[in-house]
Structure 1
Amino acid sequence: MTRKKVNLAYITNNSARNATFKKRKNELMKKVSELSTLCDIKACEIIYSPYDLQPDLWFFPLGGQHVLVDFKRMPEMEQSKKMVHQESFMHQRITKEIDQLKKQCKDNHEKEITHIMFQSLIGKPLHQLNLVNLNNFGWFIEQCLKEIQKSIGTLWKSP
């Protein structure tokens, strides 16, 4: 049985928010413990909350404080190398989405030109196309001819 989707929104009821926080905090601590046990790694967890005066700490047994010491010894560039802030994360996501949009626009344009080409093959007139689409259509036909010529050349060369 699958879980129902969790609505990620601020919980306005204080007691419900506190109960959810405690439950999620315990789940998170359990996952960090499992990760360190299963993968044999040093791990630590520090959780600051508005409900407690002191942060909740979980350290890998026998040397968990070494994780923090090792982290503090690293150069500042190494410490922040894989760190992501909300702003940089959103910038990365936007850049990725823009790249996907450009790729999709290019694919759509090629499909549109292919559709125009097949329409012209069955006898539909091209006079409704504007100059840009006609130029793109001509370029697309040249590319298709080059691919056909390459294929013919490889067929002639093969034994």
Structure 2
Amino acid sequence: MTRRKIQIKKIDNTTARQVTFSKRRRGLFKKAQELSTLCDAEIALVVFSATGKLFEYTSSSVQQVIERHGLLSSNFDKLNQPSLDLQLESSTSAALSKEIAENTHELRKLMGEELQELNMKELQELEKLLGSGLKRVRDAKGEIVLKEITSLKWKGSLLMQENKQLKQMANQQIQTLELELEQVQSSEPIGDFIHSDPSQDHDSSGTSLKLGLAFPNGI
């Protein structure tokens, strides 16, 4: 025999309602116990009857489960509500995005783009601004060129001084070499430069030979 489904609504009969409450409560607690055992879940059930009587079931401690529930609920609320830091970061990000967009628009106007929406006064102000900027660029360029010219003049002066010093050193070396050469020439003996006439030496030797040969013939 199949069980007849009952309509889920409040039971008007007090006795029947109390009997149903007892049966369903025990079944509910039994299912909670099975769930805790099978799945190692931490469960706490708190039930008040129609007469105000308390019934409870817990796998560990009702107070511990309630405190854990309160802690998680508090953290969940904090996660759902953006913190003040996040709000400030969001506000700062929006302001920076707006500033970037404005600066980008101004830069495009300085580059000669998106000028159609400007009136005559705005164009004149832009022209004046560009003129002032161009003057500052030229002044900065002139300062850089002047610095480079000054640096080149200073380097040229150093090179001239080094060249002058090298010439002086070369002249000193030349003078030293000339003095040494003069000293060498003056120290040589005078006799080395005086030589007898070879023809006279030949004649004299010939005469002596003749005299030597004639002397024995006379004897």
TM-score by length of 2: 0.32
Compare CA radii of gyration and give the structure with the larger one.
2
Bigger helix share: 2
TM-score by length of 1: 0.43
Relative contact order, CA 8 A, sep 6+: which one is greater? 1
